[in-house]
Every structure is written in structure tokens, then in C-alpha cells.
Amino acid sequence: MEKQTAKEWKQLWLSYTKKKNVGNDPFLHTYRLEGFDRENRIVRSALEELKKGLSGMLGIDPSEESFAPEAGKEHINEQDKANSMQGILILRRLIPAGNNEEGYSLHEKEGNIILEAGGEKGLLYGVFHLLRLVSMEKSLKGICEAAGPDNPLRMVNHWDNMDGGIERGYSGNSFFFENNEIIVNERTRDYARLAASVGLNGVVINNVNVKQAATYLITDRYFEKVAQLAEIFADYGIRFYLSLNYAACMELGGLSTADPLAEEVQAWWKEKMKECFDRIPNLGGFLVKADSEGRPGPFTYGRTQADGANMLADAVKPYGGIIIWRCFVYNCTQDWRDYKTDRARAGYDNFIQMDGDYRENVILQIKNGPMDFQIREPISPLLGGLKKTNQMLEVQVAQEYTGHQIDVCYLIPMFKEVLDFHTYCKAGADTVADVISGRTLGNRNTGIAAVINTGNDANWTGNYLAGANFYGYGRLAFRTDLTAEEILDEWIPQTFGSDEKVLETLKKILLNSRTTYEKYTSPLGIGWMVNPGVHYGCSVDGYEYSRWGTYHRADHLGLGVDRSDKGTGYAQQYYEPNASMYNSMESCPEELLLFFHHVPYTYVLKSGKTLIQHIYDSHFEGYEEAESYAKAWDELEGLVDPEIFGNVKERFGRQLQNAREWRDQVNSYFYRKSGIPDEKGRTIY
Ligand code: GCV
């Protein structure tokens, strides 16, 4: 297999470069469509993709099986003769009871490959899977596989602003917006293809912080272009969503209030939603950030989050729409002197009492941790804590606090931990994966969303290696049972080719990269310690005396936040046995020790090391690991495309500078606070 060039990378894992023929071609020259309408837009996309992929990778131009000749014209043409000597690809709609319309199976039978799918989307996903196997140079001979999505909603959230900037974007500017105009071009289609190829089925194109021009996305000013975007996504089975300004009824409608219980507010939104669903095809609904970080919301009027969400849900209901309401609601004007208020508690405290009060078409979108996408946080106690409400998990693929796509940080191992976490909300179906798939409550309005890491950089994700997070997120959203390693076994061959050394080196780097990043940044779950605002680089006290509720509380004796029953009581928001486990210093998982407890520097960890020695050791180790990755990458020179090699090398250079700063600043800070020297006598400043 040839290595992929930077130019081909423009299509990421869909570059369809020439692949080794592993004996798949006999099945792939002819296809037959059974039970699908070839004029259906998604079927058309699937067939186009099949042709594009097979011609690029194997030089095959598949044609649809010719129909039986009419009576009297029974001559056999050359193509028919060829077909009769080889198998074909049968694309068949299958509707057994309970089958998921997004599911598919692939198997070989009597020399044919049969792709059976429950609906058009299943067909599209099945075709992409077949192409994935060809791209990985896997044989289709004897294949017998089936897959269906675990999560009903598998969404990407863009934090793209209409001026073209991306909030927390590290891959260039937006490919949806520029100078307050909407962009519709080939990249839109390529993006939709990429998203569908990993099974994503929903997109929110604009930032949750909806201000200025973005408020007008639901008006005549933008409807036409918004509709064009939505149509492109429809071709790939991806529902289209917008983030909404909760106060649009005032800003656009001129009302004097946004009180969700006020009749004029309800009437305005009903009218507005009618217009939106009339004008925007393929519209699935709206995402709302309310009462959060300065955004307007129902609290202003003494109303609950449920009042706000339900008012909008009623307005979209006639059109089958949903309201995805974020739970990132906390006091961002806290006094750092205040030890009682705890930001970690806020999501639960603001939402739990209204459990069961939300409309059926409301979904609460909950960040994976109670703070904000740190490298290590406990799982939000709202997930599974809510027992009568639709829930959706929000993760961040964009590396806001995890290295800005400069430092390598493969996030799938972290997402796996989140999904596998036992909430103890219901015997037998209590993991986060159970809750968001609908297995726990038997509901359908559930799923997963990711703040995505793409931009208009030619390689889509800034750092080439960050492409693994985009790919991995989609695959994991579809099949939560895939392991972080299995995902790399797919992504690396499709992007970097099949060289063993490249594969092994990249796997080693990527699989360990999250732990490495954790080691050289903030210790044992305490989080933050970043440069305020930008969230890259070390500043131990950067957020210590701020209003954001993000403190490490270090003094000369120890550090960490007491969130036990003697502290803020956050640990009590979990079900047992989690509540007790987190409550005690002895049973608290050590990687989260400082999140839950204020711990003396001399406290002895299970490793036998004191806390302070652990801080020193992990920071030296983290730096050394990053250094070893940079060296390992250097050894791939000549085995990967020079431009890709250079891009990643340059980023490793910056990662090392960053890791060095973190190591030395964190170690020096705690040495100066504690006065306890490093047992190993290494240089601390
Ligand atoms: C979109 C954090 C980020 C903000 C982001 C916010 C959110 O605070 O730093 O940029 O705003 O989370 O998730 O709404």
C-alpha cells in the first residue's frame, strides 16, 4: 500500500488511494439493488460512494446488474457473460422485526457479497464499512459481520462563529461561515461524507454562544443558505440543527421579556418555529445554552430550566423537532474566598429536582465531567442521576484543555472510561453507555454529541494525528464496544498505509498520549492550572483567585478540594457505592484524589510514594514520555509523506516546550509551597 500524501489527506480516511488487491475484486464489478429506490437521495449517495471508492482503491467501476433480456432479444452481451463468471454485490433492504433502519450486515453467500440493511442509512453505513475493509486491505471472502448503532443520536457540535472564527478551534477557521455569510462548497459535502462514513447522524453548525449575526440564522437573512447546507447533510442521512439564542424573542421579535411562561413569548416561538421548519429542510431541532456564562435563560424570570426547555419543545413538537438543552449551568461569578459554593455541584443542583418534568422531545445534554473537559474529571453525577429524563453525553474532541492539537492526545481511551462508568442507577443497565443509548430507560431521544475539532486547515484537524480523534469519536458513537486500539487499527491503515513500523509506532504514541499529557499537567484530577482564557500552557495559579470556581486550594501543607461530606458534599451526588467510594480518601481512586480531597503532601499513596514525590515523579516521567514520542516520530522519516512528517515533527517540538514548562512550573511551585525536596535530587527551580 502506498503511503498517503498530504494532498490526499484532504479527504482524510476517505482518500481512496490505490490499495493492494487482496482478492476482493471478483465480488465488486456488479451490484444489484433489491428493495431500495435508486432515486432516493441517500441511496444515490451510497452508490456514488461505492463507485468512487472502488475505482480509486481497486480500479473497478462497478455497474448495476443488467436486467433480464426481453423475449426475442436473448443475446448475451459481453458484460453479462463476465458477470455470470463472478459473484456480485447484492444491496438488499431487509426489514425483520425490530431491525434498526440504521443497521446493516455484510456476509458472503454462494460467491456473492450480500449487504443487507434495514433502511437507506443502514445501506450507506454498510457501503462505507465495505469501503473501509477494502481500504484496510481486508479480504471480504467469508465475511460475516453485522453492526447497528448503539446511540440513536450521534452528533457533532460546531462552535463556529459567523465571523469565521471557531471558539476553541485549533484547525484554522470555520468552513461554514466567513464574514457573517454562510459558505456552501465542496468542503461541505466532503465533511458530510466524512461524518456519515463513521456513522454520525446529526450536526449543529453554529456555536452554542449565539450572539449578533448568529441570532439571525433563523430569519430571512439566512434561510436560503441555511437550507442549502441542510440539504447537503440530508444526502448523507445527517439531520441538521442550529444553536439558538434563548432571548431571540426579544432581540428579533422586539418583545420586552423572554419569560417562558409569558403567552406572548410562547406565541412568538410557535410562529418562529413554524417558519423555521417551513424554510429549513431536514431540520431536526435546536441546541440551547441558557443561563450559562452570560447567556440569557429562564432564571432571569425566576423560572426553571424545565420551564425554558419545555416552552421551546412545545413550539417544535408539531414538526417532530427536538430541543437539546445543555446542563452547563453554574455560577461563573464566584468569590474565590467562598469555600462552600462548588462549581462541580452546579449541574446536578440545577437540574435534578426537575427530573421527570421535561417534555418527551427535550434532551438534556450533559458534559462528561462536572467541571469542563479537563484531562481527568469524575463522571458527571447527572448522567444516570436523572431517572426520568432523556440524556445525551457531551464530550470535547476539540482539545481545549488537552493540548490544542499541538500536543498529541488521543482522547478515545478517556471517552471509553466515561462510557464504561457504572452509575449504579439501575441494576444491569447502569453504565453511561447504557444511559445514553436508551437501554436504561427504554427511551429513544438519547445519544452523544462532541464538540468537534475540524476547521478549514487543509488537513482538517491542525495536527494530522488529531484526525484519529474525529474518526474515533464517530466510530465510538456508533459502536460503543469498540476499543481505543481497535479504532486505531482501522484509522492508521486508512490514513498512513500499512507499513508495520508506522502502525506500531503510532499505536504506541497514541494509546499512551492521554496518560502522558495527564502526567505533565495538573496532578490527580485537580484540573485547571492553565493560562486563563487560552487554556494552553501552565499557570498554576492562573485560575486560583478568579471568579470561575476552578481552584486547587494549595497551601504549605497540601492541596486539593474537599468535596466529601465534610467539604462541599459533591461526593454525595452519586449513588452508592460511588458516593462512599469518593467520600473517603482511602477508597477514592487515586487518579481523582485531589478532585475529592484536600490531601497533605506527606500522604502516602498506594504506590508507597508520598503525594509530593508522586507530583515530582509524574512530571519528570510525563516529559520523558513526550520526548520519547518525538524521537519515535523522527524514526518514521521517509516512511510517511514529508509534509505530514514535518507538520507532526513541528508540533512535537512545541509539545516538548510545553511539557517542559508544565514540568518545571508545577514541580517548582509545589516544592516552594511544601519545602519538601525531591528524593531523587533532580533539578527543581
Ligand atoms: C462555548 C467552556 C469554554 C467555552 C465554552 C463553554 C461551553 O467554558 O471555555 O469556550 O463556550 O465551555 O461549553 O459552553
Q: Which numbered atom of ligand 1 lies nearest the CA of 168?
A: 10
Q: What is the pLDDT of residues 172-215, one digit of tens each?
A: 999 999 999 999 999 999 999 999 999 999 999 999 999 999 99
Q: Is the pLDDT of residue 156 over 80?
A: yes
Q: What is the mean pLDDT of residues 359-375?
A: 98
Mutate to test the pocket of ligand 1, among 157, 168, 243, 325 (most ligand atoms within 8 A of CB): 168
Q: Catalogue all structural domains in the chain, each as residue range(s) with its CATH number.
A: 9-147 (3.30.379.10), 153-496 (3.20.20.80), 520-561+598-674 (3.90.1330.10)
pTM above 0.95, yes or no: yes
Q: What is the pLDDT of residues 379-388, one digit of tens each?
A: 999 999 999 9
Instruction: Based on the residue annotation, tell me whether 293 is a catalytic residue of this protein.
Output: yes
Instruction: Based on the residue annotation, tell me whether 400 is a catalytic residue of this protein.
Output: yes
Which of these is catalytic: 120, 394, 400, 617?
400
Question: In this predicted structure, what is the pLDDT of residue 82?
Answer: 47
Question: In this predicted structure, what is the pLDDT of residue 81?
Answer: 47
CA distance 299 to 352: 16
Share of residues in the chain with pLDDT > 90 (%)? 93
Q: Which numbered atom of ligand 1 lies nearest the CA of 208?
A: 1
> Which value, to the nearest 10 degrees, does the dihedral of the CA atoms of residues 193, 197, 200, 206 take?
-30
Q: Is the pLDDT of residue 448 over 80?
A: yes
For atom 8 of ligand 1, which residue has the closest CA? 372
Q: How far is the CA of 130 from the centre of ligand 1 (A)?
A: 38
Question: In this predicted structure, what is the pLDDT of residue 4?
Answer: 78
Q: How far is the CA of 451 from the centre of ligand 1 (A)?
A: 10
**Helix/strand/coil percentages in the chain, nearest 5:** 40, 15, 45
State phi, psi for 610 to the nearest 5 degrees: -75, 160
Question: In this predicted structure, what is the pLDDT of residue 9?
Answer: 85
Q: What is the pLDDT of residues 54-104, one digit of tens each?
A: 999 999 999 999 755 455 554 545 555 445 557 899 999 987 655 589 999
Q: How far is the CA of 44 from the centre of ligand 1 (A)?
A: 38
3-class DSSP string for 98-159 = CCCCCCEEEEEECCEEEEEECCHHHHHHHHHHHHHHHHCCCCCCCCEEEECCCCCEEEEECC
Q: Which numbered atom of ligand 1 lies nearest the CA of 451?
A: 13
Q: Kindly list the protein residues whose Cβ atom lies closer than 6 A to any atom of ligand 1.
A: 159, 167-168, 207-209, 289, 292-293, 328, 372
Nearest to 287 by CA among 333, 331, 326: 326
Q: Is the pLDDT of residue 415 over 90?
A: yes
The three three-digit cell numbers of residue 219, written as one number: 430569519
Given pLDDT bands bounded at 50, 70 and 90, which one contains residue 21? confident
Mutate to test the pocket of ligand 1, among 159, 245, 292, 293 (most ligand atoms within 8 A of CB): 293
Q: How far is the CA of 399 from the centre of ligand 1 (A)?
A: 12
Q: Is the pLDDT of residue 304 over 50?
A: yes
Q: How far is the CA of 255 from the centre of ligand 1 (A)?
A: 28
Which of these is catalytic: 372, 394, 430, 562?
372
State phi, psi for 93 to the nearest 5 degrees: -85, 130
Q: What beta strand segments (E) does 223-329 contain?
A: 239-244, 283-288, 322-326
Nearest to 437 by CA among 428, 447, 426: 447
Q: How far is the CA of 136 from the centre of ligand 1 (A)?
A: 37
Q: Is the pLDDT of residue 1 over 60?
A: no
Q: What is the pLDDT of residues 503-562, one digit of tens each?
A: 999 999 999 999 999 999 999 999 999 999 999 999 999 999 999 999 999 999 999 999
Mutate to test the pocket of ligand 1, among 327, 372, 394 (most ligand atoms within 8 A of CB): 372
